[in-house]
C-alpha cells in the first residue's frame, strides 16, 4: 500500500469509529430515550444505561467548571493531534489501524464535550451487581482496543537479533 493509501486507510478507520460512535450516541439518547428510561437490560451481563461523564477515564479529572471543561478539551485535542501526526508518519498498516481507532474515539468524545459539556456513556458490563468497568461508550472501547493493539504490536514485532548480527557494545 502506498504512503497516501496508508494515510487514507488510517483516516477512514478514524472516520468510521467517529461516525459509528456518534450514531450510537444519537440512537441511545434519541429513539431509545435512555436519558428518561434509565436502563435497558440486553443480556444478563450487559445493559444500556445512560450516564454523563464529566471527567476522563475512570472518572478522573472531573471538569466542574467551564474553564476546566475547556482545559480538558484542549488537552484531549492536543493528544488527538499527536495521534494524527503519528498516524500520518507511520508506515505499518496495523499500527495505522490502531492509531485510527484511537483518533476516531478521541474525536467522538471531544465532540460530545464541545456540544454537551460531557461525554455520553451507555455501555454497562456487569456480573450481577459487580461492575468490573465503569459505564463506557463505543469511542472509549475503540480507544482501548487501539491502544492495546499498538502495545501488542510493539511487544510482538520487536526486531530480533539474528546469529550474524553483532551484539551492541559501549564505546567511550
| pTM reported for the whole predicted model | 0.85
pLDDT of residue 140: 94
- Tell whether 160 is covered by a domain: no
- For 48, phi then psi, to 5°, come to -95, 125
Residue 120 maps to a domain? yes
pLDDT of residue 170: 53
pLDDT attached to residue 29: 94
Q: By residue range, what is the domain housing residue 64?
A: 3-155
Counted domains in the chain: 1
Tell me what pLDDT residue 119 has.
93
Asked if the structure places residue 163 within a domain, the reply is: no
State residue 115's pLDDT score: 93
Position 134 scores a pLDDT of 83
Task: Give the model's pLDDT for residue 122.
Answer: 94
Q: What is the pLDDT of residue 172?
A: 46
Q: Is 140 a catalytic residue?
A: yes
* Coarse DSSP helix, strand, coil percentages of the chain, rounded to the nearest 5 percent: 60, 15, 30
Residue 171 domain-assigned (yes or no) = no
Residue 162 lies in a domain: no
Concatenate the DSSP letters of all residues of 94-144 into one string. Answer: HHHHHHHHHHHHHHHHHHHHHHHSSEEEEEEE-BTTB-SS--B-HHHHHHH
Within a domain: 90: yes
pLDDT at 34: 94
Helical (H) or strand (E) element with 12: helix 3-29
Query: Is residue 121 flagged as an active site residue?
Result: yes
Query: How many other C-beta atoms are found inside a 10 Å radius of the C-beta of residue 67?
Result: 9
pLDDT for the residue numbered 11: 97
Does 16 map to a domain?
yes
Query: Could you list the mean pLDDT of each consecutive 10-residue stretch along the chain, which spans 172 residues?
Result: 89 98 96 92 93 75 80 92 96 94 96 93 89 88 94 78 52 50
Q: Has residue 169 been placed in a domain?
A: no
Q: Which of 21, 95, 121, 124 is catalytic?
A: 121
Amino acid at each position: 500500500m502506498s504512503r497516501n493509501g496508508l494515510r487514507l486507510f488510517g483516516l477512514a478507520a478514524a472516520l468510521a469509529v467517529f461516525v459509528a460512535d456518534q450514531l450510537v450516541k444519537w440512537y441511545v439518547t434519541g429513539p431509545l430515550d435512555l436519558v428518561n428510561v434509565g436502563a435497558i437490560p440486553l443480556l444478563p451481563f450487559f445493559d444500556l444505561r445512560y450516564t454523563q461523564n464529566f471527567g476522563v477515564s475512570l472518572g478522573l479529572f472531573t471538569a466542574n467548571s467551564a474553564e476546566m471543561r475547556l482545559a480538558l478539551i484542549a488537552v484531549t485535542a492536543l493528544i488527538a493531534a499527536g495521534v494524527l501526526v503519528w498516524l500520518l508518519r507511520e508506515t505499518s498498516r496495523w499500527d495505522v489501524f490502531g492509531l485510527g481507532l484511537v483518533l476516531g474515539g478521541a474525536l467522538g468524545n471531544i465532540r460530545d464535550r464541545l456540544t454537551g459539556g460531557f461525554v455520553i456513556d451507555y455501555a454497562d458490563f456487569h456480573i450481577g451487581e459487580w461492575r468490573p468497568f465503569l459505564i463506557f461508550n463505543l469511542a472509549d472501547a475503540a480507544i482501548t482496543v487501539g491502544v492495546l493493539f499498538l502495545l501488542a504490536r510493539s511487544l510482538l514485532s520487536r526486531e530480533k537479533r539474528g546469529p550474524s548480527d553483532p551484539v551492541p557494545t559501549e564505546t567511550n
